Chains A and B, each alone.
Chain A
């Protein structure tokens, strides 16, 4: 068991490591890109708009307001579209903030 951890004591509160967080965020963004058929090895090529539009294209569903769940495939696609969009949005937001912290402290 490797068990790496940064212990804080003595009133110096600086254990956050932005580089490690960015690395994890980028792995998760890459996974989403691969799921929707984009190149996960080049995440800087894609803005959040590209990713959200790619998710919507890959998991299309009806927005029929008179039949909120539509057909079965609409329900399933909506579930995965929502889950992926929420994750992608958070990851892009967190990445921007973590990169700022990495560069500016």
Chain B
């Protein structure tokens, strides 16, 4: 029996008309092929799969789960990805500027929306220098991508430079997730928030630790993930909205 979460996601998929997402998270789609290449690569390297080295971590299985993705899980992934697209779409519509939209982002799933953006001269996309970028360049951009939007243009940014404050007050839109942001300290989170321009938007997906912080009222005190959310909430230079459905998302606008 499908979960209520998956059922809602399937209904959302049927009742939305987001362009170019028909084949997103389907067994024959590009992301399935992409995820298989990454999984094969990681298996080839022989990363440590013992319990003590893995624990319980979605990051470890994300690409395995995206191969030949099942209908229910595919709909959940679809919903999460489309919501990220939605926030960017809504936040940047009619923004009234001739300069390219400056974006700091990551690519875990090369959904068509993001690929099109990389070829769009009105978007100046910056991707963090991490293994996600390597996977994207090696297994998608240089391999699967069929050139349908022309060459892809973007810049790579090192985390050290972000932490040094080299990009403060620089981006119109910063999109991040828990794999990048949830660290023992708030340094990475602070650097990402500080990189948003006044008037710009910060979107943090999977703000709920895959729903864990919604399980009961104690979780917001007992979860480090909730501490991360609370830090965003404490920033007086941001107006933040925690939206507690699906994986949870924080949408924060820089106001000062």
Chain A contact residues, CB within 8 Å of chain B: 1-11, 13-18, 20-21, 23-24, 28, 31-32, 35, 48-49, 52, 69, 75, 78-80, 82-87, 89-90, 92-94, 96-98, 100-101
Contacts and interface: CB of A to CB of B under 8 A. Distances in A.
B134 interface: yes
Nearest to A92: B53
Mostly, the A contact residues are: helix
B224 to A, nearest CB: 4
**Chain B interface residue bracket vs A:** 35 or more
B83 interface: no
A93 B57 CA distance: 12
A49 B164 CA distance: 32
B170 to A, nearest CB: 8
B2 interface: no
A24 B158 contact: yes
Given A2-B164, A7-B155, A9-B151, A97 B48 contact: no
Nearest to A75: B222
B129 A20 contact: yes
Contacts of A3: 161, 166-167, 170
Nearest to B42: A97
A91 B55 CA distance: 13
A52 B54 CA distance: 10
Contacts of A92: 48, 53
B184 interface: yes
Candidate in A78, A83, A94, A101 with the most chain B CB atoms within 10 angstroms: A83
Contacts of B167: 1, 3
